[in-house]
Amino acid sequence: MTSEVTVRVPGKINLQLSVGPLQRDGYHELATVFQSVSLFDEITVSEIDKGIEITTDSKSNIPLDKENLAYKAAEIMKKKFDIETGLAIKIKKEIPIAGGMAGGSADAGGTIVAIDSLFSLGLKRDEMERIGSELGADIPFTIAGGTAIGTGRGDQIAPVLSRGSYNWVLALSSSGLSTPSVYKECDRLREGLDISKPFVSDSLLQALSHGDAKALGKALTNDLQPAACSLKPALRLILDVGLDYGALGGIVSGSGPTVAFLAEHEDHALDLVVALTSSGVVGNVIRVAGPVPGARVITGA
Ligand code: C5P
């Protein structure tokens, strides 16, 4: 057994997020298309005498206790597999916090994969995804990666045929949005409306299978976008600027506030970064590519 294992785990954007009505369990039925992008957290897990200790390099405040999904993931793995020693979890963050890119879920997914490797549990990927789904709807996809449809709460994953690589430009916000409050605002905005069953659009799936960035740009949709914009009106301005500067499409990612713009090719993405940065409406703009693989052990395997 190795003494520590490091896992690299990507953030995600939602190319489509179709939200059904609120259900009795407090969740909404979803039909979504996830894509993992090249922005990674690194999770290093090692054994200690007792307890679960989380440390981070992050300057932002992430919880270091039970509030952190990685802590919950370690707790559930210890219980399920009778792990008696304690666990130290180091989180190196690149994925924005509360940014709608599943950063917290990625840390939990990475912790599950790291513990599987550290203790040679020999779990299959779908078994790890099932454990993740007990803790949060986005966790299974952070383990799976690539491009996938998510149904149910977003936790039932099926891979999607996707050709080529896409160039994304992400406009990051300095302050986050809480996922439950965005869903609540979505319910408020849709009050009295007849909400149909969520679905994934054929045009989006076709665009992905043909590797057609222009068609993909037109097919991006997010039912949570009006709610995210209602809570953070500056997002409308950011979307307008990116589209004015020629992005093939622009969308709030998940519950926001990260905005993802699709570029035609790498040079176009660079132009968009310059345009968005100089517009003054966005603080931090980065370029990423997708799809990339899900959580992977990088050292200590
Ligand atoms: O599962 P997760 O902890 O990521 O979800 C956070 C919150 O987002 C839930 O408590 C719920 O308010 C909302 N949510 C939802 N429907 C989903 C997924 C999340 O309403 N399918």
Q: What is the residue with the minimal CA distance to atom 20 of ligand 1?
A: 27
Atom of ligand 1 nearest to the CA of 138: 4
Q: What is the residue with the minimal CA distance to atom 13 of ligand 1?
A: 180
Q: Identify whether 138 is a catalytic site residue.
A: yes
Q: What is the residue with the minimal CA distance to atom 10 of ligand 1?
A: 180
Q: Identify whether 12 is a catalytic site residue.
A: yes
Give yes or no for residue 280 having a pLDDT over 70.
Answer: yes
Phi, psi (degrees; rounded to nearest 5) at 280: 85, -5
Looking at residues 147-166, what average pLDDT do you find? Answer: 96
Give yes or no for residue 174 having a pLDDT over 90.
Answer: no
Length of the chain measured in residues: 301
SS3 252: strand
Identify the band that residue 72 occupies on the pLDDT scale cut at 50, 70 and 90. very high
SS3 sequence, 89-143?
Answer: EEEECCCCCCCCCCHHHHHHHHHHHHHHHHCCCCCCHHHHHHHHHCCCCCHHHHH
Give yes or no for residue 245 having a pLDDT over 60.
Answer: yes
204-231 burial code (b ≥16 CB/10 A, e <16): bbebbeeebbebbbebbbbbbbebbbeb
- List ligand 1's pocket residues with C-beta within 6 A: 26-28, 30, 136-138, 153-154, 179-180, 183
Identify the band that residue 301 occupies on the pLDDT scale cut at 50, 70 and 90. low
Which mutation among 135, 183, 195 tests ligand 1's pocket best, with the greatest number of atoms within 8 A of CB? 183
d(CA 40, CA 110): 10
Q: How many helices (H) does the chain have, and how many strands (E)?
A: 10, 12
Q: Of 73, 91, 69, whose CA–CA distance to 81 is shortest?
A: 73
d(CA 152, CA 271): 38
pLDDT at res. 1: 54
**Angle 69-80/103-118 helices, nearest 10 degrees?**
30
Which mutation among 179, 187, 195 tests ligand 1's pocket best, with the greatest number of atoms within 8 A of CB? 179
Atom of ligand 1 nearest to the CA of 136: 1
pLDDT at res. 283: 81
Atom of ligand 1 nearest to the CA of 29: 21
**pLDDT tens-digit map of 190-205:** 999 999 999 999 999 9
Distance 217 CA to ligand 1 centre (A): 26
pLDDT at res. 192: 92
pLDDT at res. 98: 83
Give yes or no for residue 59 having a pLDDT over 90.
Answer: no
Distance 183 CA to ligand 1 centre (A): 8
Check if the beta carbon of residue 41 is closer than 8 Å to that of residue 56: no
Which mutation among 17, 27, 195, 255 tests ligand 1's pocket best, with the greatest number of atoms within 8 A of CB? 27
User: Tokens representing 132?
Assistant: 């993740």
The mean predicted confidence, pLDDT, of the chain is 95
Give yes or no for residue 172 having a pLDDT over 60.
Answer: yes
pLDDT > 70 fraction of the chain, expressed in percent and rounded: 99
Q: Please name the residues in contact with 236: beta carbons below 8 A apart, sequence gap of 6 or more.
A: 229
Identify the band that residue 176 occupies on the pLDDT scale cut at 50, 70 and 90. confident
Catalytic residue among 41, 107, 116, 138: 138
Looking at residues 161-173, what average pLDDT do you find? Answer: 95
Q: Which of 52-66, 135-149, 164-178 has the lowest mean pLDDT?
A: 52-66
Q: What is the DSSP letter of 67?
A: T
Check if the beta carbon of residue 190 is closer than 8 Å to that of residue 237: no
pLDDT at res. 2: 63
Give yes or no for residue 217 having a pLDDT over 90.
Answer: yes
Looking at residues 32-53, what average pLDDT do you find? Answer: 97
User: Tokens representing 258?
Assistant: 């990260």
d(CA 59, CA 97): 11
**pLDDT tens-digit map of 80-122:** 999 999 999 999 999 998 899 999 999 999 999 999 999 999 9
User: Quick one: which H or E segment has residue 17?
Assistant: strand 4-22
CB neighbours of residue 6 within 10 Å: 20
Phi, psi (degrees; rounded to nearest 5) at 51: 75, -175
In order of 46, 126, 200, 214, the CA distances from 160 in angstroms are 35, 16, 11, 18
In order of 89, 135, 211, the CA distances from 204 in angstroms are 38, 29, 10
